[in-house]
A = this chain, B = another copy of it.
């Protein structure tokens, strides 16, 4: 078929390869948890720099890579910046209810 949007240099696990310990570990860091929350809140691709974090650029890159390699987010290049999206469908399919539980956890009544 036609598909010119190939970014093979970015490592993304397949939907079936997402491992629970890796996901939980990725989410166990407060900074990464915040990133995931913001991504979920915007429900639209965000650039790495679009998330407020008082950490250095290299650390931010590191966190995004951990999230991507764990299968939590998808990253795609768009011009000079890289857009990230939450892999909601893949995660819901593999671990039903997990993402909702994590996202809803920090938003008490």
A: interface residue count bin: 20 to 34
Can you tell how many copies of this chain the complex includes?
2
Report whether over half of chain A's contact residues are helix, strand or loop; otherwise say mixed: helix
Bound complex: CA of A30 vs CA of B29, how far in Å? Answer: 17
How distant is A21 from chain B, measured CB to nearest CB, in Å?
5
Q: CB of A98 within 8 A of chain B?
A: yes
Q: CB of A105 within 8 A of chain B?
A: yes
A-B contact pairs, 19 of them (CB 8 A): A20-B33, A20-B102, A20-B105, A20-B106, A21-B27, A24-B25, A24-B27, A24-B102, A25-B25, A25-B28, A28-B28, A94-B105, A95-B101, A95-B105, A96-B104, A98-B98, A98-B102, A100-B101, A101-B101
